[in-house]
Amino acid sequence: MSTTTNIPSSASSTASQGLAIVTGASSGIGRELALEAARHRYDLLLAADRPLDAEPGSGNAS
C-alpha cells in the first residue's frame, strides 16, 4: 500500500511545496505518486523494500 503525507513548508512559494513522504516508492502507484509529487516541487522522503528504478535520462542510474 502506498501512502503520502504532506507536511507544510515554511519556505517561500518559489521553493518547495512541502514534504511528501511516499512508501512503496520502488514501483507501481508509489513510484507514480513520488514522480507526481516531484513534478509539483515537493521535497521527497521515499521508502521502498527494493532499489528504486531510475527515471530514464535522470542520471540516477544504479
Structural domain boundaries in the chain: 4-47
Element (H, E) at 44: strand 43-47
Q: Identify the band that residue 8 occupies on the pLDDT scale cut at 50, 70 and 90.
A: low
Sorting pLDDT into bands at 50, 70 and 90, what band is 15? confident
Of residues 55 and 24, the one with the higher pLDDT is 24
Per-residue pLDDT tens over the stretch 28-41: 999 999 999 999 99
Amino acid at 30: G
pTM as predicted: 0.60
Q: Could you read off the pLDDT of 41-57 as tens digits, one per residue?
A: 999 999 998 886 665 55
